[in-house]
Structure formats: structure tokens, C-alpha cells
Chains A and B, each alone.
Chain A
Amino acid sequence: MRVNIDEEACVGAGQCVLAAAEVFDQRDEDGVVVLLQAEPPAELGEAVREAAVLCPAMAIHVED
């Protein structure tokens, strides 16, 4: 699984961090999403997909 994020689109709602804190964080300076792992292990797949669904800005894209 590969994760891509769109920093421009991100509105800092933090839904991704709640869903998958191992994979997403937010920058202290502007709250924009930070990708901690671009290729998370399979066991985090479900959480990452949930983050992508919850993100209100559609800023998270998942490829298999």
C-alpha cells in the first residue's frame, strides 16, 4: 500500500491523525498533515483507508 497526501488541499482537520496516528501527524506550525510512513504495513491498511474516507478535503490517496 502506498499513501499520497495533498498538502495544498489539507485543511488541518486532524481526522487522519485520529484514524491512523502511526501514519499521519500534523505540523506544529500550520497544522498541515505530515506523512510518517508512505508505505505503511498491511495491518494498518484499514486505518489508513478510514483516514482517507474521513478526510474532509480528500487530501489522502491510497494505492494498492
Chain B
Amino acid sequence: MTETASAPATAAFPDTRPPGCPFDPAAEYRELRESAPVSRVSCPVGVDAWLVTRYEDVRSVLADPRLNSRAASPSNHVNTEADLDAPANPGSILHHDGPEHSRLRRLLTPEFTVKRIQAMRPYIAELVDQHLDAMLEGTEADLYHDFGLPIPSLVICELLGVPYADREMFQAASGVLLKVDITQEQRLAASGQIQGYMAQLVMAKLANPTDEDLLGRLIQRANASGTPLTVEELVTLGISLLIAGHETTANMIALSAAALLQHPDRLAELRADPSIAPAAVEEMLRYLSVVQFGVFRRVVEDLPVGNVVFKEGEFVIAALSSGNRQESVFDRPDEIDFSRNASAHLTFGYGAHQCLGQQLARVELQEVFARLYTRIPTLRLGIPFEKIEFKHDALVYGVRSLPVTWDTQA
């Protein structure tokens, strides 16, 4: 009914960064947090949505069961070609809610517990060192392609039981899937490629599920639960983990380096005492908010937020990067400060969908932060800062490449 419909949007969804600092989120957020913390915006996908910009509201909407995530490939609002009414694929953990989501999540959580991931730390540290050794044989590298990307890729391939030799296809295809401005054909081609490959791998694991890799254990665990996973579910789960494992941490590694190289004082702190890496990682997660367009949800049941009511069927965007820069939560939020406690940042999301792989990401980043800058103390950009190309159009923010150089080691 028109008399109950929410007012149409008067502003476009803020999806462009200000011209100054490439690490700052859209400039509109600061103003919106103050004057219109819950506002109406029109989205590139062609619908209007509620935009929630304050920290507390971001957390409360993301934890609210009256919103669902089915339509919402985390940032479908910025994808002009997205089909918001497409049904959720079986096994697509990002798109299911309630009991179906819990079932899938519970099958995976044992793989990502704090203990389990801590046990991988020596392997991850060694992997980082091997890559640093290789880099140190020369005097320049691309910190994204030669370092940031291979490390999480090797880890997730190892965990899943994907032969690393097949990684190039995944990296290319997942890069396509995480772009904003792709056509439906490009999306289908890329996902078809990944799907065909993963289906073969799943069939092989189903024939012989061993304890040696995540897919094998997942199959066994689901069988033991009395509700075995179907081939389709396994393929979708495998692809989700592979893509999530490739892109996010890789971008964090290279983007943090780009930011830290611009902040020599912070870098000096980290070099002087690599044991602060865990706090530094949380702070960089907060400061950079790589899931740059926030999280998109649909209202299933009316809910009041502030002085408005989100009505059934409407859309909501929770602006993670905005909450992460809120002054009342993080003092001097636009500064990098390793001494603050940043662990309540929103970068991994909030609510039942909060990042499943967050403990893995933490350990990977901690080992990188503790090693990269001490082992290569003269690390510096290989091109002028202004020449760095940032991924303005990708769901996960980062750099397209990061040429770096250093002095030959004595």
C-alpha cells in the first residue's frame, strides 16, 4: 500500500571514496552518522534501501533475525546485474538463515576453532618465511601477487585438499566474481569454471573421504550427523571457502602494507616490537574495512530502528566501514593507533554470519605483520604512492598490485 510504503530515497548509495586518502571510506558516512544515522538511499542494483551507518545500529541489525541474507550476496546492492529474487543455492552458507544456516555452519565450525587454527600457526609462519626467503633473493617484488595472494591461497588449498597447481584458474575466476561491474555472462562463465572443477574434486572426495582434508572431514561429519551433504551442497560450500580464503586476506596483506608504508611511525613501532602484531592486525582490520560496501539484508518482518520502521520486503545496508570510523566507539577513528583495543571492529561482520574464517585470517595476518617488516627492514614502495591502483570497484577493497623494493641484505 502506498500510504505505508517508506519514503523514496533522495540520495544515492555512497560508493565512492573521497579524493584525498584512499584508506578512508566514503565521505558521506561521517555526516550521515551525525545527522541521519538511518537514511534512505538508492542502490546501483535498482532498489531503494535503508542505510544504517552507526556502530550500534550496524551491530543490532546484523544480529536481528527479522532480517535475512538470501537476496544478499553480501554486497548485491552494488551489482547492477544482481537478481535479488534468486533462490539461495543449497549449501550456500552466506544466503541461508535460521536452522538451515546453523546446520551448515555447525558442520564447518570445528575446522575453524581457535585451537585448530592455532595448531596451523607453525605451518603458516614457515610459509611466510619461505616467501620472504624467495623475495630476498632479489631486490623487488609485487607484494600482492608474489606474497599477499600466495600465502592465504596455499593455506586454503591445503586445508580444502585442492591441489595448489590448480590455483591460477581459481584466482582468475574469483577475481571476476568479486568485481562489481561484471555482466551476467562473465559471472556465469567464471562460476561455471569453478563449479566444474569443484564438482570433480567433491566426487573424488566422496568416493574416498579421508581425515586428511577439510572436504573429507566435512563429508564424514555430515554422514555421522544423519543428514549427509549432497554433491551440490558440497560444491557450493567448497567454492565459498575457496573464494573467501583467497581474496580477503590477500587484500588485507597488501592494503595494510600500502597503508603502513605511508605511516612510518606505526611501521617503526611494529618493527621495534613484533609481539604487538595481534593488536596491529585488529587495528588495521578496523581502519581498512575491506568489505567496503557493507552488508546487504532484506527485511522479513517489520522492525523498528531508531525512529523509523523497516517494513517487510524492504532492503537494509549495514555500513561496516562507517561503524568502524565512529568517534564515540573508537577515539580519533581516522588515525591508525596500535595501542587502542580495536577488537570490537565490524570488519568480520556481526551476528550469526560473522566471518567463519576470522581466526584463520587473524593468524595469517599476525604472522605476516610479525615477519615481513622485520625481515625486510628497508621495505619501501617501488612506485610513487599516487601511482598505486586501488580496487574501487571490488567488493573486497585492496590494491591491484603493490610494487615494493628494498636494499640488498648485508
Chain A contacts to B: CB under 8 angstroms: 11-15, 17-19, 21, 25-32, 50, 53-54, 56-58
Q: Are A13 and B358 in contact (CB under 8 A)?
A: yes
Given contacts A11-B105, A56-B63, A56-B352, contact A26 B115 (CB under 8 A): yes
Q: Assess the B105–A12 pair: CB atoms within 8 A.
A: yes
A26 engages B349 (CB within 8 Å): no
Q: How far is the CB of B328 from chain A (nearest CB, A)?
A: 15
Min distance, Cβ B112 to any Cβ of chain A, angstroms: 7
| CA of A9 to CA of B114, assembled, Å | 18
Evaluate contact between A30 and B110: CB separation under 8 angstroms.
yes
With contacts A11-B352, A12-B105 known, is A54 near B343, CB below 8 A? yes
Question: What residues of chain A lie closer than 8 Å to B354, measured between beta carbons?
Answer: 11, 13, 56-57
Contact of A12 among B112, B343, B349 (CB under 8 A): B112
Alpha-carbon distance A58/B62, docked complex (angstroms): 12
Q: Is the CB of A31 within 8 A of B106?
A: yes
The complex places the Cα of A58 from the Cα of B102 at a distance, in Å, of 15
Task: Answer yes or no: B240 CB below 8 A from chain A CBs.
Answer: no
Instruction: Assess the B109–A11 pair: CB atoms within 8 A.
Output: yes
Chain B minimum-CB-distance residue to A10: B109
Residues of B within 8 A of A56 (CB): 63, 348-352, 354
- Which chain B residues border A57 with CB–CB below 8 Å? 63, 351-352, 354
Q: A11-B105, A13-B358 are in contact. Are A31 and B113 (CB under 8 A)?
A: yes
**Which residue of A17, A18, A32 is within 8 Å of B109 (Cβ)?**
A32
Within B182-223, the residues touching A (CB, 8 Å) are none
Contact B352 A14 (CB under 8 A): no
Residues from chain A with a CB closer than 8 A to the CB of B352 are 11, 56-57
> Residues 102-120 of chain B: 1 if any A CB is under 8 Å from the residue's CB, otherwise 0?
1001101111111100000
Q: A26 — which chain B residues lie within 8 A by C-beta?
A: 109, 113-115
Give per-residue flags for B276-311: 1 if the beta carbon is below 8 A from chain A beta carbons, else 0. 000000000000000000000000000000000000
Q: Which residues of A contact B106 (CB under 8 A)?
A: 12, 30-32
Tell me if B63 and A14 are in contact (CB < 8 A): no
List the B residue with the shortest CB-CB distance to A58: B63
A14 touches B344 (CB 8 A): no
B positions within 8 Å CB-CB of A: 63, 102, 105-106, 108-115, 343-344, 348-352, 354-356, 358-359
A-B pairs with lowest CB-CB distance, top 10: A31-B109, A12-B109, A56-B354, A17-B114, A26-B113, A14-B114, A31-B110, A31-B113, A56-B350, A11-B352
A20 to B359, CA, bound (A): 15
Q: A11-B105, A54-B343, A54-B344 are in contact. Are A28 and B351 (CB under 8 A)?
A: no
Within the complex, what minimum Cβ distance (angstroms) separates A63 from chain B? Answer: 21
Q: Find the B residue at minimum CB distance from A13.
A: B354
A54 to B106, CA, bound (A): 19
Smallest distance from the beta carbon of A50 to chain B beta carbons, Å?
8
Q: CA separation between A57 and B102, bound complex, in Å? A: 12
Give the complex CA separation of A5 and B122 in angstroms: 32
Quote the shortest CB–CB distance from B33 to chain A (angstroms). Answer: 20
CA distance A50 to B355 in the complex (A): 19
Residues of B within 8 A of A30 (CB): 106, 109-110
A residues in contact with B359, CB < 8 Å: 14, 18
For the complex, give the distance between the alpha carbons of A53 and B329 in Å: 13
Nearest residue (CB) in B for A9 is B352
A18–B114 alpha-carbon span in the complex (Å): 7
Most chain A CB within 10 A, of B108, B112, B113, is at B113
A residues near B343, Cβ cutoff 8 Å: 15, 18-19, 50, 54
Measured CA separation A17–B113 after assembly (Å): 9
Assembly CA distance A42 to B113 (angstroms): 27
Indicate if the CB atoms of B112 and A31 lie closer than 8 Å.
yes
Please indicate the chain B residues that have their CB under 8 angstroms from the CB of A25 in the complex: 115
Give Cα distance in the complex from A57 to B355, angstroms: 12
Task: Give Cα distance in the complex from A12 to B295, angstroms.
Answer: 20
Closest to B349 in A: A56
Write out the residue numbers on chain B whose beta carbons fall within 8 Å of the beta carbon of A14: 112-114, 358-359
What distance in Å separates the Cβ of A25 from its nearest Cβ neighbour in chain B? 8
CA distance in complex: A21, B359 (Å):
14
In the complex, what distance in Å separates the CA atom of A60 from the CA atom of B38? 28
- Assembly CA distance A26 to B106 (angstroms): 12
| Chain B residues whose C-beta falls within 8 Å of the C-beta of A31 in the assembled complex | 106, 108-113
B185: shortest Cβ distance to chain A, in Å?
A: 36
